[in-house]
Structure 1
Amino acid sequence: MTSWFDLCEGWTLTAEPHEGTLPGPAAALGAVPATVPGCVHTDLLDRGLIEDPYLDDNEDRSGWIGRTDWRYARSLADLAPERAPDVAAAERVDLVCEGLDTVAVVRVGGREVGRTENAHRSYRFDVTRALAEGGPDPALEVNLASPYRYAEERRERFGPLPGAYDEPYQYIRKMACNFGWDWGPTVVTSGIWRPVRLHAWSTARLASVRPLVTVTDDGSLGRVSAHVRVERTGPGSEAPLTLTATVAGARATATLAAGETEAVLDLVVSEPALWWPRGHGDQSRYDLGVELSSGAADGRGLDSWRRRIGFRSVAVRSAPDDEGTGFAVRVNGRDVLVRGANWIPDDAFPSRIGRDRYRERIDQARDAGINLLRVWGGGIYESEDFYELCSERGVLVWQDFLFACAAYPEDAATAAEVEAEAREAVVRLAPHASLAVWCGNNENLWGHEDWGWKERLEGRAWGAGYYLDLLPRVVAELDPTRPYWPGSPWSGDAGTHPNAAEHGTMHLWDVWNEADYTVYRDHRPRFAAEFGYQAPPTHATLRASVTDDPLTPVSPGVLHHQKAVDGNGKLARGLEAHFGDREWGYDDWHYLTQVNQARALTVGIEHFRSTWPYCTGTVMWQLNDCWPVTSWAAVDGAGRRKPLWYALRRVYADRVVTVQPVPDGLVVVLGNDTDEEWVTEVTLARRSTDTGRALAASAHEVRVAPRGALRVPVPTVVAEPSEPAGEVVTVDGAGERAWWFFLRDLDLDYRKPEFDAQTRVEGADLRVTVRARVLLRDLVLNVDRLDPGAAADSALVTLLPGESHTFTVPGGAGLDGAAVTTPPVLRCVNDVLANDR
């Protein structure tokens, strides 16, 4: 028998003195009702005991929380024999803590039952005796030590190790970005951040099930090797046991004799429907079940396990070639053009992220054309919901092990924790079809090479042993069906610079930090695993998190919600390069920085994609935010889509057309990431921006191979302008129009925005039609300024004179029609840079 009891209700939280003292704010708290899963910050916030850390600079006033010891407690009276007979009858009772943050002593009835030092793993403690001896009302206590004190004491012990930030995040196994990042707040948490349950069982239980799923090269056979480990009670140590596994009509059984605890059940499925990433096929999955039963005559059930798996093969193709060493993610033997984004925790307090929020965010990724999310190494191993939804929606997952931007201690105790953490993560995530790549770390191999670490380390260990030895051994042992990559960036060879463009994965941060975004075109990476450009969140998100009056680009709250070093300075330099040097008011600054962000990623992704199959993928930084902040995200901290999201939807479409500069002129590149040949006719035209009239044109019948790309040289008569400030190249006939402007915006001859606008209500929706009388560049409909819940279906629309576009605002029927069609709601570049003509 096996019974589970949820223990997430009835908790209280108390600040505990350390060496007789409490931080001032903690002294006045008393006992606070606590929510589990949760953390101290959310409990205090829910009770009105702290101000929202996401509002203004309140974050700075909650720093004492991470420097305080805390005690969570609840009664276990509801587990008394008369109220929980399954507990009383069980041979063994375990306390299962799925996530404690972080350094904890756990007690039942005053008896210590366990200690923890790692928020990234779960713990199971035998509490059978403690419950039996704890009286009728034993208490469950989780005593959490200050994470700052623990990390700082370890820093003193091991000596300072280099990192990207002056915080001790590498000395404690918890979410690194809790300690602040260049997009995140410093909110160092403590708490019970994942569920706590009691497990009562007898004879034996399923300790772990690790399915290794493979398919033959021709896809005709699918194989599942279910590696099962059981744990026995004392009385059950000699009992015979039976294991049964089933999937897609296949069945396998194994018998465990007395004392045996491990078995492998092999299942073969003929002609399975394969699982594919989105855009390549269906996301077929099958129910895999494992049953544990008594081997005695009664055959009673003891435990069961269920997951949905997908039959597919995954690999990384990284063989050397004439130009270096490639990096291609392969699924079912096919190289996948990765259209990816980096994923960070979607909230600085992850216990607030539920299945619905994961679904919304992953759907936003999928709807933008994204087919891979990289779970970044400074965050967390996400919940089952995340990976299940990615599998369901065909989004591949690249999973970093949790190391980021720092040298890490390699003492025996830390190494043991890292191994235990890695083993649990690999086993837990193995069933998910979406999981495609294991990666050792984020930027640590690069940091050791280029960021002055070698001199500061003076020969001390710094984490290489994890990335190049321990972690690959764990993956090879527990999950040989998936590739392991030591880090990102990584060249594929310890003798080659880890961020070499010609080899493996590359991070490109000269753009944003040092150079204009047009410099993306000077790079030829084999796989661009990180690159990005900042912009503020949507207006509604920024206004809800900053109370500054007036709101300006440099008002205190806006600056507090900009965490990057010289972030606003870099935004200003980006604006100057394309729009001129001036003092920008808030409305112009907000609109143009968002346009610049979208254009930067468009230039980079279009260029990298145009070199397919030399460059096999892009993973832009980043999809999402963990709070309201100026950052590189496409979806802001409130879940609203920035203009960048709409740009991604175009450049990450299955079929794209782009104009690229080459030494002798221009070339049109058509990319076809589908299984069907693309046959169409494209018209290339050089047009007057005043009239939209074609000054020169050429038509081309094109056939683009499946999963291929085609380059069409632009004839000189089209590629060379007579008056660059007043002419533009368009490409039509291949879906969305492609544009090429010959000069920077500040040098173009923009007219004042002249257009006719009409609004009409259709059911609950609002339609806004704009008909241009002059060229209008990058129209955006910022309806969140009128209703924070409203958003348009399109953005960054450019129209020639005489052309029109209709925006749809779902649920926007109640919006003010006049306000919708005037600045700052309806904006275009002409509003800022128009000449007086």
Structure 2
Amino acid sequence: MTYTPATFTPIAADWVAAPLDGPLPAGFPAGSLPAAVPGVIHTDLLRAGLIADPFDGDSEAAQQWIGDTSWRYSTSFEWHDDGSTRHDLVAYGLDTVATVRLNGEVVARTENQHRSYRWPVAELLREGANELVIDFAAPVPEASTRAERFGALPRVNHHEFNQLRKTASHFGWDWGIDVAGVGIWQPIGIDSWSGVRIDAVRPLVAVDDSGAGVLTAHVALEWDGRGSRDDSGLAVTVKVAGAGHGATAVEYVTRDAAGAVVEARVPDVQRWWPIGHGEQPLYDVTVSAGEAQWVGRVGFRNVRVNTAPDDAGRPFEVYVNDELVLVRGVNWIPDHAFLTEVDADRYARRLADAVDANINLIRIWGGGIYESDAFYDRADELGLLVWQDFLFACAAYAEEEHLAAEVEAEAREQITRLSGHPSLIIWNGNNENIWGYVDWGWAAALGERTWGEGYYRELFPRLLAELDPTRFYSPASPYSFGEYLHPNDERHGTMHIWDVWNRRDYSVYRDYTPRFVSEFGFQGPPAWSTLARVVHDEPLDPFGHEMLVHQKAERGNEKLDRGARGHLPEPASIDDWHWTTQLNQAHAIAFGVAHFRSLTPHNTGTVLWQLNDNWPVVSWAAVDFDEHRKPLWYALRDVYAPRFATIQPRSSAQALADAFEGYAPAKDVLALVLVNDTGDSWSGEFLVARQDFAGAELAAERVTISVPARGTASYELSAGVAAVGDPAAEIIVARTADEASGFAPAIWNAAEVVGQALAADAEALDVRAERTEGGYAVTVAARSYVRDVFLQVDRVDAAARVDRGLVTLLAGESARFEIASSANVDPAAFTTPLVLRTANGLLARGEN
């Protein structure tokens, strides 16, 4: 949301909504219904009891009429002239194609959800009662009409979403519900002011060679148009206050000046750092111009991204304050299908999910929105880096005036609005559109028509050069940063990997050696309680009607089954299907991330698709819509640990020599690889042992190894340790006795779960449950090798949360799980077979 001045008075009360034109269900009542502002039509209808929960069962199909219907929002409000010179109607967010009337007169017509509007309305306002009416065009037919008028353009999905500047995922996605609607989704009201107002501030920061923080505040001013007795000029003052030193600077401007540029220098500034690299000091900034005032925060840091060619291609290296940041990222979608339902607390919980999983970067995907101030504010405080897409995704977009003018206005506003956030380091032109043009048949379909390239290669870099040159710009994701390079070439820049999941086994991740993976993922269902809350098929079945309503990927559940085949046993029940596919999602991503991180510094980051869901659905998310952390989340936390040890196949020196003679190198040895993404080097000893499932040591060696800060080290295991005799009954374990090292043990499984002779749960685990002050605790002790102990605590209490998950135990090891729950149940409920799950248990069931 755009900065709101103190003079703004919201019009939030007594709104009603009513259908204007389009299909209505039988029995829909005449008249209007109460409406919330900010709000959207779906939630208004739900609160009025006129529709069922849009997320439940197959409500989606039954409610498609909502997006085919035009709606009127109206209210009466009291206004009294306070003597101000200007009275503006300000709309911070209208979704989307709207006609605005004040007291019967048309004020404006709008067609962009992603920008704000300001209109002088003093001549239209009346002393006392006033009527404000906003008519919204039905979004689905409006998009179709524009496709007929201007020409349809290539896109994914079934609606013409790329004809409108509206959230693309409102029209459905391969994880998202189709709920295209309308609404006043941001505040609207009257701004009364006199003299001068601050229209916008761009507080751009840098740290110079002396260590001083340099704040260059670009202050845009608007004047009321009335003459003044005092034409001596106006002082524009910038004050910076925070940790350490502050600063004040003043520039004088003449009346009617469009703005001022004020530079304030803070000596010995405390730098803002990404999480894991330092602290996040934030400085308060106050800009004053006459009676007008703007308040914000900044963090002082420098940002750059290196894509210069090297011997291997073109890297994608993120530097903050000249320190390389190895990216452990996730992609972000809107956290609710109805945007107004996400408040600051929900944002805080979701970003806590990120931090707790050792994530240091969030990419805001181009089919969503420019997020709420609450999102970026919290990211600033946490040290989470933000990569922001411009809102173009998986489609071609017209560059003619009917869309281009809106695109430029939107981009200018959002670049300005977000310029003060230190967390934001990258702007990205689009998601997959250049790749689509090259590989998805768009070029032939488009011919000579425009498709968005001018935005990505000309408009956006030009606007950033003008408005905010302090941040890096990428034309697209994926992108190879070379004019004649394929946009999704693993040797260059950023890469998306989607053949895994769509058609290939997840072991194929290991065939890639990408420089940076900005999108990849694997699906799994949400928590059981989340799924069962909205899917009511009798009996529950992976291919039941309502189950498939909540699976938006093409042939998604077929891909889930195919993806687990050869890794995990065929599930014997719907309960086992749920656990199998959740576990396989976690295994697939852990496998891929471990491989990619082992390639450091050739690979400098991964950005998982995706952190979150926008409704209850089978998807790629690590945290489901009901805020349960899926098994994937726990796997991600482990594999994204700042210090990470992994055993990986590598090519021997002889195999590499053969490669130079024209032979493909075989991955014929095993290596212990340490990744140290901390500011301190580490040296110590690892014990690497091949052992059976009962814990008997079959071969071992001690390895003294050193790994630099922000670096890696590897050690080729001896043939005696690496030579597994019985893959079904042996593993290799590498661990250090240094408890402060931060390196968790690395385990090499010589066979997949389906090929291992794992003892059944009852034979391998001793289990104890008890009440605690905060809920319950479950302790498990392993008599044999037990893989992936996980508690599906939501099966007992949908509100319960557990602190650990996917814990693998060697013989003789134990683990305690703390469960936060206010439910009054027998503690043993948390140890029943459908709650306490393991990979072992799946294997035992699969053999029966």
Same-fold call, TM cutoff 0.5: yes
Deviation at 1:657, TM superposition (A): 0.6
- For the 8 Å contact 2:797–2:821, the answer to whether it is kept is no
One-letter code aligned to 1:35: A
Of 823-832 and 367-376, more deviation after overlay is shown by 823-832
Question: In structure 2, how many angstroms separate the alpha carbons of the residues matched to 1:424 and 1:191?
Answer: 21
Letter in 2 for 1:90: S
Q: Which residue of 2 aligns with 1:179?
A: 171
Paired residue secondary structure (1:319): coil
TM-fit CA distance, 1:484: 0.7
Name the counterpart of 1:74.
Answer: 75
* Map of 2:800 onto structure 1: 790
Write out per-residue CA displacement over residues 47-94 of structure 1, whole angstroms, 9 at most, x where no aligned residue.
1110111001101111111111111111122x1x3xxxxx43111111
* 1:224 aligned residue (206, 215, 220): 215
Distance in structure 1 (CA, Å) of the matches to 2:26 and 2:379: 42
Equivalent residue, structure 2, for 1:344: 333
Partner of 1:84: none
Change beyond 3 A, Cα 1:513–1:773: same
Indicate whether 1:775 and 2:785 are aligned.
yes
What is aligned with 1:32? 33
1:114 aligns with 2:122: no
Q: Which residue of 1 aligns with 2:656?
A: none
Letter of the 1:516 partner, please give it.
D
Q: How does 1:117-136 map to 2 (within 5 A)?
A: 117-131=111-125, 134=126, 136=128
Listed as ranges, the gaps of 5+ residues in structure 1 are: 82-86, 294-301
Displacement, 1:351?
0.7
Asked whether the 8 Å contact 1:761–1:813 carries over to 2, the reply is no
CA deviations 1:317-355 (Å, max 9, x no partner) are: 110001100111110111100000000000010111110
Task: Pick the aligned partner of 1:203 from 195, 201, 213.
Answer: 195
Shift of 1:206: 0.3
Question: Is the partner of 1:186 in helix, strand or coil?
Answer: coil
Do the aligned residues in 2 keep the contact of 1:15 with 1:26 (CA within 8 Å)?
A: no
| Range with bigger deviation, 547-556 or 335-344 | 547-556
The answer for the alignment partner of 2:532 in structure 1 is 543
Q: Match for residue 234 of structure 2? A: 241
Taking a change above 3 Å as real, the CA distance of residues 68 and 491 of structure 1, as seen in their structure-2 partners, is same
Residue 490 of structure 1: aligned partner: 479
Helix, strand or coil: the match of 2:106?
A: strand
Shift of 1:267: 0.7
Please name the residue that 2:657 is paired with.
none
Q: Which amino acid aligns with 2:718?
A: P
Tell me the equivalent position of 1:296: none
For 1:553 and 1:403, the matched residues in 2 are separated by 33
Q: Does 1:529 align with 2:518?
A: yes
1:699 to 689, 697, 702: 702
Tell me if 1:640 matches 2:640: no
1:299 corresponds in structure 2 to none
Q: Which runs of 4+ in 1 moved over 6 A?
A: none
Q: Distance in 1 between the 2:543 and 2:684 partners?
A: 49
State the partner residue of 1:745.
753
Match of 1:98 among 92, 100, 108: 92
Partner of 2:655: none
Code of the aligned partner of 1:309: V
| 1:684 aligned partner, one-letter code | V
How many equivalent residue pairs? 814
Q: Give the CA deviation at 1:359.
A: 0.3
2:44 aligned partner, one-letter code: D
Per the TM alignment, residue 737 of structure 1 is displaced from its structure 2 partner at its CA by 1.8
1:292 is displaced (CA, Å) by 1.0
1:196-345 to structure 2, matched below 5 A, reads 196-217=188-209, 220-236=211-227, 239=231, 240-248=233-241, 249-293=246-290, 302-345=291-334
Deviation readout 1:198-233 (Å, 9 max, x if unpaired): 110001100111111111246x11101101111011
Q: Is the 8 A contact 1:314 1:330 kept in 2?
A: yes
**Correspondence list, 1:350-369, <5 A:** 350-369=339-358
Q: Secondary structure at the match of 1:795?
A: coil
Shift of 1:773: 2.1
Query: CA–CA distance in 1 between the matches of 2:478 and 2:468?
Result: 22
1:109 and 1:135 in contact (8 A); partners too? no
Answer yes or no: is the 8 Å Cα contact 2:571–2:842 preserved in 1. Answer: no
- Work out whether residues 797 and 823 of structure 2, in 8 Å CA contact, stay in contact via their aligned partners in 1: no
User: TM-score of the superposition, structure 1-length normalised?
Assistant: 0.95
State the secondary structure of the residue aligned to 1:138. Answer: strand
Determine helix, strand or coil for the equivalent of 2:553.
coil
Number of the residue aligned with 1:12: 16
How much does 1:801 deviate?
A: 2.4
SS where residue 397 of structure 1 aligns? strand
Residues 726, 198 of structure 1: CA spacing in aligned structure 2 closer, same or farther, 3 A cutoff? Answer: same
**Residue type of the partner of 1:747?**
G
Aligned to 2:444: 455
Shift of residue 3 of structure 1? 2.3
Letter of the structure 2 residue corresponding to residue 48 of structure 1:
G
Q: Say which SS state the counterpart of residue 398 (structure 2) adopts.
A: coil
State whether structure 2 residue 688 is matched by structure 1 residue 684: yes
Report the alpha carbon displacement of residue 5 of structure 1 after superposing the two structures with TM.
1.0
Residues 1:3 and 2:4 are matched in the alignment? no
Matched, 1:418 2:418: no
Q: Which residue pairs with 1:615 in the alignment?
A: 603
What does the per-residue CA deviation read over 1:407-434, in whole Å, with 9 as the maximum and x for residues that have no partner?
Answer: 1111112111100000000000000010
Q: Which of 724, 728, 736 is residue 731 of structure 2 equivalent to?
A: 728
Q: 1:67 to 1:591 in 2, by over 3 A?
A: same
Task: Indicate which of 145, 151, 160 corresponds to 1:159.
Answer: 151
Considering only aligned residues, what root-mean-square deviation do their CA atoms show, in Å? 1.6
1:107 Cα offset (Å): 1.1
Relative to structure 1, the CA distance from residue 217 to residue 167 in structure 2 (aligned partners, 3 Å threshold; closer, same or farther) is: farther
Match of 1:653 among 623, 629, 641: 641
Q: Is the 8 A contact 1:767 1:809 kept in 2?
A: yes
Confirm or deny: 8 A CA contact 1:400 1:442 kept in the other structure.
yes
Match of 1:627 in 2: 615
**In structure 2, distance between residues paired with 1:705 and 1:236:** 66
**8 Å Cα contact 1:12-1:31 kept in structure 2:** yes
Does the 8 A contact of 1:763 with 1:813 survive in 2? no
Which letter maps to 2:726?
E
List per-residue Cα deviations over 1:429-485 (Å, max 9, x = no partner).
000010000000000000000001111112211110110111111111100001110
Question: Structure 2 stretches of 5 or more lacking a match?
Answer: 651-666
